[in-house]
């Protein structure tokens, strides 16, 4: 299969998801060695899970398939430029390459606008729309200290 065929599958999934009423118009596939190993569609409303975006669902499925928390040697094809959460998940999963079809401006035009999140991240905590307050940092640092010293950890 070619890149365009993989992207067409992600697009097909996005359209099918809308037609089925299961969620938003987003689909993703993950490819390894020229074969689709995982698919994902937006399941936010059907599962009451705000993290069930197509890319995250596909990443979860692909990681199960390859038995790893990293997607080395994989590519992700997504029907739309990823939101901040999905982009973060993609970076953490470490695929070799990402392809997208619709842009974030295309998504904003149909009321899937993530610009406010990008803007919020740049603000000091006291200026954010979500009230944010730091608590018990000194106590929490113990977990980080234990991680740093652990001989059982698997680095990622």
| Active site (catalytic) residues | 55
- The three-point CA angle 29-87-156 to 5° equals 95
Closest CA to 86 of 111, 120, 121, 50: 50
Looking up tokens 């619709």 gives 102
Closest CA to 49 of 37, 36, 39, 40: 40
Looking up tokens 């991680």 gives 147
Strands 74-80 and 97-102: parallel
Contact 107, 81 (CB under 8 A): yes
């Amino acid at each position: 299969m070619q890149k365009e065929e993989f992207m067409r599958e992600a697009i097909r999934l996005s359209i099918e998801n809308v037609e089925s009423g299961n969620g938003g118009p987003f689909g993703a596939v993950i490819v390894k060695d020229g074969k689709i190993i995982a698919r994902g569609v937006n399941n936010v409303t059907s599962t009451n899970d705000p993290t069930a975006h197509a890319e995250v669902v596909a990443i979860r499925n692909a990681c199960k398939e390859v038995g790893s928390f990293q997607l080395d040697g994989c590519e992700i094809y997504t029907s739309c430029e990823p939101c901040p959460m999905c982009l973060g998940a993609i970076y953490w999963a470490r695929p070799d390459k990402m392809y997208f079809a619709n842009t974030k401006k295309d998504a904003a035009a149909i009321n899937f606008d993530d610009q406010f999140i990008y803007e919020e991240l740049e603000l000091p905590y006291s200026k954010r729309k979500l009230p944010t307050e730091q608590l018990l940092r000194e106590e929490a640092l113990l977990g980080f200290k234990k991680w740093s010293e652990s001989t059982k950890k698997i680095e990622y």
